[in-house]
Amino acid sequence: MSTHGHTETWIERAEAVLSAAGHKRGGARRAVIELLDSQSCALTAVEIEDALRTGERGVSRASVYRVLDELEALRLVQRVETGQAMVRYERVCEQGGHHHHLVCDSCGLVMPFSDEALERAIDKLSERVPLRVSEHEIVLHGSCHDCRDD
Amino acid sequence: MSTHGHTETWIERAEAVLSAAGHKRGGARRAVIELLDSQSCALTAVEIEDALRTGERGVSRASVYRVLDELEALRLVQRVETGQAMVRYERVCEQGGHHHHLVCDSCGLVMPFSDEALERAIDKLSERVPLRVSEHEIVLHGSCHDCRDD
DNA sequence: GTTCTTGCAAAACCTTTGCATTTGA
DNA sequence: TCAAATGCAAAGGTTTTGCAAGAAC
């Protein structure tokens, strides 16, 4: 429970963590952070670059990757591997936002889902495994409604 | 239950499926198949190429990728995404071999694990999701015994 | 003023493809 | 003989890096 009397947004937390880690502010990183905050699911670096070029503030591809690396190192974003040759990134939400991914192998659609029973199974399992587990990732592959005819 | 009175090995099944799909035999593919059969967990294409170069029969990188693609299309091998920038491949075992992966983010070690409760949770979940689920992949990230000090 | 940030271009890397040759049936 | 398999080299895409200029503190 917060002592500040309000719930910290992801952007606020990101700014705080970055500042504490000795980073200065910058327009490119700010643009990437704002875009990630507006998304409910994972984007690739190229999708991020394209979205930003179209928008208010273009950001070079190198900066997109650098920002994503920094944010990942600080556990503000996480990688999502969907088997589609490119890595996806999404923000890490501390309260409530935890989810996993459904991937349509025909059209490439990526959708989020969450399931409590699954999380409980993972938590119990994590205690019995020869690894100190910090994260987990679950991807379900199949065909979506529009592709039910392979 | 088999009508042949013996359990088919993965290599035997692979040969049969390839033959039924109209493939001829070849030394490069045979070498990749034998290597995959000897492994209990997933390898990258580069690891496969290296292992084969050192061994009896070198195989060009292009052939490694082509063979892996063919085997994946026939569901004889499956991709494993561990978040390590390269795709891994491992044989698909029909009986008993189903497992998932633990990845040490410090040293890159990949280990298999399996858990029945987790599989049950996945199966139940798969029925309630807007996707006809054909496969699932679970990766637990963390630090292994040797890396418990980041 | 010092350090972090950014863009550009080049490099590095994994993966795929084109083409000629060899091999299997 | 005909189709599949293979190796080599080149191409394609994504991601990383070097370096110089710009911005934050």
- Using CA atoms, how far residue A103 sits from A44, A112, A144, B93, B118, in Å, is 14, 9, 8, 23, 19
Distance B63 CA to C23 C1' (A): 15
Residues of chain B in contact with residue A121, where contact means CB-CB under 8 angstroms, are 115, 117-118, 120-121
Decide if B137 touches A, using CB distance below 8 A.
yes
Out of B124, B126, B131, whose CB is closest to A144?
Answer: B131
One-letter amino acid at B122 equals: I
Q: Phi and psi (nearest 5°) for B18?
A: -65, -45
Q: Say if residues B67 and B88 touch (Cβ distance below 8 Å).
A: no
Would you give per-residue pLDDT tens digits along chain A (150 residues)?
Answer: 445 556 789 999 999 999 999 999 999 999 999 999 999 889 999 999 999 999 889 999 999 999 999 999 999 999 998 877 788 999 998 777 789 999 998 888 899 999 999 999 999 999 999 999 998 999 999 999 988 764
Q: What residue spans in chain A does CATH classification 3.30.1490.190 cover?
A: 98-150
- Residue with minimal CA–C1' distance to D24 is A24
- Using CA atoms, how far residue B57 sits from A69, A82, B37, in Å, is 39, 33, 15
Distance CA A83, CA A117 (A): 25
Query: Which CATH code of 2.40.128.20, 3.30.1490.190, 3.60.10.10, 3.40.50.2300 fits the domain covering A98-150?
Result: 3.30.1490.190
* B1-95: in CATH 3.20.20.70: no
What is the model's pLDDT at position B5?
60
Distance CA A43, CA A145 (A): 22
Decide if A144 touches B, using CB distance below 8 A.
yes
Distance CA A98, CA A76 (A): 13
**Range of B35-44, B59-68, B84-93, B126-135 with top mean pLDDT:** B59-68
Q: Estimate the crossing angle of helix B116-126 against helix A116-126, to 10 degrees.
A: 170
What is the model's pLDDT at position A4?
53
Structure tokens at B45: 């294409």
* CA B77 to chain CA mean position, Å: 5
Q: What residue spans in chain A does CATH classification 1.10.10.10 cover?
A: 1-95
What is the model's pLDDT at position B122?
95
Half-sphere exposure (Cβ direction) of A57: Cα atoms closer than 13 Å: 13
Cβ contact A138–B135 (<8 Å):
no
Query: What pTM value is reported for the model?
Result: 0.85
Cβ contact A115–B136 (<8 Å):
no
Decide if A75 touches B, using CB distance below 8 A.
no
Interface of A with B in 7-66 (CB under 8 A): none
